[in-house]
Amino acid sequence: MTFTLDQALKAQQALRDAAQLPAEKFPVQAFVGMLSDEIEALRRKGKTDEEITDLINGVAGTKLSASDVVNYYASSAERGRRK
C-alpha cells in the first residue's frame, strides 16, 4: 500500500487538529531540506534558484531567498539517496 504526499499531509493536519496541537513551524534550513528532492529535479530541468524560490514563495506565502536555497539545499548524499 502506498500513500500520496497530499494524503499524508491531510492525515497529519487532521491528527494535529484533533490533538489541538499548535501549527508546526520549521527553520529555514529544515524547510529547504524538506524540499531538496524537488529543488534538485527542477534544477535538472534548467530552473534557476531564483525561479524555484519565486515558485515556493508564490504558493507558500514565504519570503525565502535564492541564497537560502543555495545555502540550505541538502544534496542527494545528505538526503541518503543516490543520484
> Any idea where the domains of the chain sit in the sequence?
28-83
For the cut 70, the answer to whether the pLDDT of residue 81 exceeds it is: no
70 is written with which cell numbers? 543555495
For the cut 90, the answer to whether the pLDDT of residue 79 exceeds it is: no
Residue 17 has a pLDDT of 97
Mean pLDDT in residue range 44-70: 97
For the cut 80, the answer to whether the pLDDT of residue 83 exceeds it is: no
Average pLDDT, the chain: 94
Residue (of 45, 44, 43) closest to 53 by Cα position: 43
What DSSP character marks residue 69?
H
Cβ proximity of 50 and 66 under 8 Å: yes
pLDDT tens for each residue of 14-45: 999 999 999 999 999 999 999 999 999 999 99
